[in-house]
Chain A
């Protein structure tokens, strides 16, 4: 037995520790959204203001006060997912695996060419794989425990997308799963950048969510924030005078966040942009009398990027769709940028709010906007409520875009902000 040493042997610093902060860039995107499956279909529809919202078909919504949702169109799982994975995956995980496949291919990454511990996976989650979970709860309670799937132990849980993506692409590096409700997409990208800065060359990140089943629907009704408008073109009108709540959707985006240097070395085909700044905050307890921390999240993300509000060319808003929450966000934007001081848009008006997928899709959309120099519209909203003194973009607008700010809020008080810059 070795005696307990009081001064343990000290090893030299790890050779892999980066001496300076590396730049994290986005080199690949994979998108599954209610108004388009695949990046270019989604982007084309989004610029055209084509909404993916409609009466829900994945279950019969007629008994519920809310009936409108955003469903991903034309997704045939068998075309994308190996048959052995079908029984162990929910619709959510299949969409996530597909988006991850596309993102990895878009980035031109061949996992076998990179060190196995040099690739990680960080995804956002919200309520897990709800439809799978509902089916197994029903099997248990209506038939008995023998009818519960052997896959239930992991197929529904919050870590499932990260686990399945890492297995599929043999990515063994630092990985994770973050839950901050709708803000999770930004937090996962911020965390991916953290890993890149610590020396992991490639991190697959973002979020894809899907809860369009009764057991995913009823909790959202209970939140009191969902729109009860049955006309899909009027159900989710963020920042409008007619804002009446939000519409849920499914899908999201997977992004490849990569160390700029190693992307260059491996000859990455494209760089969509740089993850220049990130910050997250938590609101104080309701009733504490202290102000919301959304503004501080935006300010900290800009400071992290070394930028001022005047450097921001477009804001992708959280756009909660309820009058009170819209007012709070518009107020923060006015404080930061002045009245109508920066173009503000909410393309999620065409997809609904995608839970853990929402902010990831906004980040992907912002990168496409930077790439093409065009701001996608907030569809269905003719003009912002005059009480919100923001320049709401209601038709696609061409602009010289260098810097985008993406904001997100998660139920319970989470705020997150991401600053993305165009690739030079």
Chain B
């Protein structure tokens, strides 16, 4: 008997608003949350645009102790965990805590806190032998971002396996994939799973500047991220978190849980090609899509929406368009595709979970979020990228993909659990 895994709760902190409701309103309005960086003086940088969260930790319910102890990314994760658990209606106290696990994705961990504390202990970069006397007690928690998974697990009362999954920009899909495996293999019945990232800091700006990955379109920050558009010029950094409550299908049904969707298939591959480069044919991403479809026992023609990686770099958008054609064949031309990064930016390790949350909401509401800022289609990219305006459409099967530094390629399929049994 194959154990199947469904999404029964969602919690989100995203640019444009805290909470699932505000998130979905932003996405379906086609509104963008990208803006000029306000967190620090970005004037030295080539790219000075980001999708920042207006996040007040106290207003979001965190205690003064939590605010002091937790990095911004951990704060996002804890707030999202609370929303997801409430949304799921799960009474955790009635469950065996050892059967609840935690899987949290993050690419760069507590980088904002680490950089802030580095500046203090190094006296603004002057000392190689940084000064331990200025180190805050929380510094080790920030140093090892695994602390964030412990924090989320302990918040949820979970005592099963817990880990941070950190595979660069596919972390948010891979952490969910990891959680699905733990339920399927029988180790856990419930997983608190998702991803978080708060990377908007000078060192992140500097390293993306150095490889020209981020857009220099600083004059029009609200339309700076232009996936699939001829004028696209790079990604826009974002931040945020999405936490999902995942449950084994039968026990979710027994308790009468609201089920958003089944996570029907997942696969990850490496391109073993380059730490940051991509081949245009999208071969390894296509292989991941094919493997995820095999696992879900779905044909390409079943897919009726693709949530693209759509980072807005020249290279990525070609790469994944190639992958979609490779895997879906002619059906790629009939499948609506969009990139929500056009609206909420690229929150590195968190974005994969934010995108799966968006896919679950798209299935729930029968609306596909658009690709904002797509005014001038790139003639090389000839698929249907849902320009500018959300589209009403009943959607039963959704593909979401991610691609990351290190060569990671991941694909996940959501479907309705009531489809034909395996």
Given A117-B269, A141-B119, A153-B405, verify A179-B145 contact (CB < 8 Å).
yes
A280 on interface, CB distance cutoff 8 Å: yes
Q: In the complex, are the beta carbons of A282 and B161 less than 8 A apart?
A: yes
Q: In the complex, are the beta carbons of A285 and B154 less than 8 A apart?
A: yes
Residues of B within 8 A of A219 (CB): 135, 139-140, 142-143
B251-270 CB contact bits vs A (8 Å, 1 = yes)? 00000000000000001111
Of chain A, the residue at the smallest CB distance from B288 is A174
Residues of B within 8 A of A173 (CB): 269-270
Q: In the complex, are the beta carbons of A121 and B160 less than 8 A apart?
A: no
Quote the shortest CB–CB distance from B42 to chain A (angstroms). Answer: 10
Q: In the complex, are the beta carbons of A153 and B132 less than 8 A apart?
A: no
Q: In the complex, are the beta carbons of B164 and A138 less than 8 A apart?
A: no
Cα distance A178–B177 in the bound complex, in angstroms: 13
B385 on interface, CB distance cutoff 8 Å: no
Q: 12 other contacts beyond A7-B420, A282-B154, A413-B154, with CB at 8 A cut-off?
A: A5-B302, A9-B299, A9-B302, A63-B131, A117-B287, A138-B128, A145-B202, A157-B405, A159-B168, A166-B270, A282-B153, A411-B140
Quote the shortest CB–CB distance from B56 to chain A (angstroms). Answer: 24
User: Could you show 27 A-B contacts with beta carbons less than 8 Å apart?
Assistant: A1-B334, A4-B395, A10-B420, A11-B299, A125-B166, A127-B144, A142-B125, A142-B126, A153-B211, A153-B213, A157-B168, A160-B275, A163-B407, A172-B272, A173-B269, A176-B178, A177-B167, A179-B144, A191-B178, A215-B122, A215-B130, A218-B130, A218-B135, A285-B154, A290-B159, A412-B144, A413-B162
Cα distance A355–B181 in the bound complex, in angstroms: 26
B1-22 CB contact bits vs A (8 Å, 1 = yes)? 0000000000000000000000
Residues of A within 8 A of B132 (CB): 63-65, 217-218, 221-222
B157 on interface, CB distance cutoff 8 Å: yes
Of the residues A214, A222, A223, A283, contact of B159 by C-beta under 8 Å: A283
Of the residues B145, B161, B171, contact of A281 by C-beta under 8 Å: B161
B residues engaging A (CB < 8 A)?
Answer: 44-45, 97-98, 102, 107-109, 115, 118-119, 121-122, 124-132, 135-147, 149-151, 153-155, 157-168, 171, 174, 178, 181, 185, 187, 202-203, 205-211, 213, 267-276, 284, 287, 291, 293-295, 297-299, 301-302, 304, 331, 334, 393-397, 404-408, 415, 419-420, 422
Q: In the complex, are the beta carbons of B140 and A176 less than 8 A apart?
A: no
Of the residues A12, A149, A175, contact of B210 by C-beta under 8 Å: A149
Q: In the complex, are the beta carbons of A140 and B206 less than 8 A apart?
A: yes
Of the residues B141, B155, B206, B275, contact of A412 by C-beta under 8 Å: B141
Residues of B within 8 A of A46 (CB): none
Quote the shortest CB–CB distance from B29 to chain A (angstroms). Answer: 23
Given A125-B166, A140-B206, A142-B125, verify A170-B272 contact (CB < 8 Å).
yes
State which residues 254-295 of A face B: CB under 8 Å: 279-285, 288, 290, 293
Q: In the complex, are the beta carbons of B275 and A154 less than 8 A apart?
A: yes
Quote the shortest CB–CB distance from A416 to chain B (angstroms). Answer: 8
Residues of B within 8 A of A187 (CB): 161, 163
A126 on interface, CB distance cutoff 8 Å: yes
Quote the shortest CB–CB distance from A96 to chain B (angstroms). Answer: 13
Q: In the complex, are the beta carbons of A140 and B125 less than 8 A apart?
A: yes
Quote the shortest CB–CB distance from B359 to chain A (angstroms). Answer: 14
Quote the shortest CB–CB distance from A117 to chain B (angstroms). Answer: 6
Q: In the complex, are the beta carbons of B407 and A166 less than 8 A apart?
A: yes
Q: Closest 6 CB pairs between A and B?
A: A141-B125, A163-B406, A8-B302, A142-B125, A412-B150, A219-B143
Given A8-B397, A88-B275, A141-B119, verify A154-B405 contact (CB < 8 Å).
yes
Q: How many residues of A contact B (CB 8 A)?
A: 98
State which residues 176-231 of A face B: CB under 8 Å: 176-181, 184, 187, 191, 194, 214-224
Cα distance A96–B203 in the bound complex, in angstroms: 25
Quote the shortest CB–CB distance from B68 to chain A (angstroms). Answer: 14
Cα distance A140–B201 in the bound complex, in angstroms: 12
A55 on interface, CB distance cutoff 8 Å: no
Residues of A within 8 A of B157 (CB): 284
Of chain A, the residue at the smallest CB distance from B161 is A280
Quote the shortest CB–CB distance from A149 to chain B (angstroms). Answer: 7
A332 on interface, CB distance cutoff 8 Å: no
A23 on interface, CB distance cutoff 8 Å: no
